[in-house]
Amino acid sequence: MHRRRALVAAFIFLILLLSSAQRAYSFSSSQVRQEIGQAYASVLDAEQKGGNVTGLVSQLNEAITLLNQGDAANKTNPSLAQQLYSSAFSIASNVIQLSPGVASAGVASRSLSLEIFASETAVLGILAFLAYLLTPRVFWSAWVRARRGWRVRKA
């Protein structure tokens, strides 16, 4: 019974220790900078795969602004700087998480536009072939139809 209580107490103590450690975890300016760099690399990759990265870029710029504000506040108000660094870090992490989805959407969009291009090219090829075969016949039948009412008079 005592052992069980001791185990429960140790477990609760461990949880409290972990949660306080998490709360006390602080980011340095260089860590945030590094995370933003990684986020940029993931955005670049998503863009190269055809993804629309407009939203991600504006989030990255928001993270950069927060980082700069954190750097400015670091000497006078370190706790405010920590909050700003933490926000910047979480935005950059969010960008890293969102980038693969944007990249997949880009790949799908590229594949669709390739399919559309292939279909258009095929249709134009068929049209060119039909034009080669049928243009004179279509033209002359239209020519005759347009002059159906004409009468020939002796000059």
Partner 1 sequence: MGQGTQGMEGQESVIDEQLTAATVGIILVIALFNGSNYFLSNRTVEPFSELGILGPNQKIADYPTSVYAGQNFTLYLYVGNHEGHVMYYDVLVKVGDRSSVINENVSLASPPIASYSIVLMDNQTYLKPIVLSLSHAGTDERLVFELWDYRANVSGFVYDHRFNQIYLNVTAPPI
Does 102 participate in binding partner 1 (rule CB under 8 A)? no
CB of 102 to partner 1, least distance (A): 12
Quick one: angle between helices 29-48 and 54-73, nearest 10?
Answer: 170
Give me 141's structure tokens.
Answer: 């039948």
Sole window of 13-21, 81-89, 132-140, 146-154 interacting with partner 1 (rule: CB under 8 A):
132-140
| Residue where the block lists tokens 């955005």 | 43
Query: Would you count residue 35 as binding partner 1 (CB under 8 A)?
Result: no
How far, in Å, CA of 130 to CA of 94, rounded?
54
Which of 6, 10, 15, 44 is the binder for partner 1 (CB under 8 A)? 44
Residue 45 and residue 103 in contact, taking contact as beta carbons nearer than 8 Å: yes
85 touches partner 1 (CB under 8 A): no
User: How many of the other CB atoms lie within 10 Å of CB of 17?
Assistant: 10
Are 29 and 69 contacting, i.e. CB atoms less than 8 angstroms apart?
no
Using the minimum distance from each CB to partner 1, give the nearer residue, 108 or 124.
124
Contacts of 61 (CB under 8 A, 6+ apart): none
At closest approach, how far in Å is the CB of 18 from partner 1? Answer: 30
Residues found near partner 1 in the complex (CB under 8 A): 34, 36-38, 40-41, 43-44, 47-48, 53-54, 57, 60-61, 64, 67-68, 113, 117, 120-121, 124-125, 127-128, 131-132, 135-136, 139-140
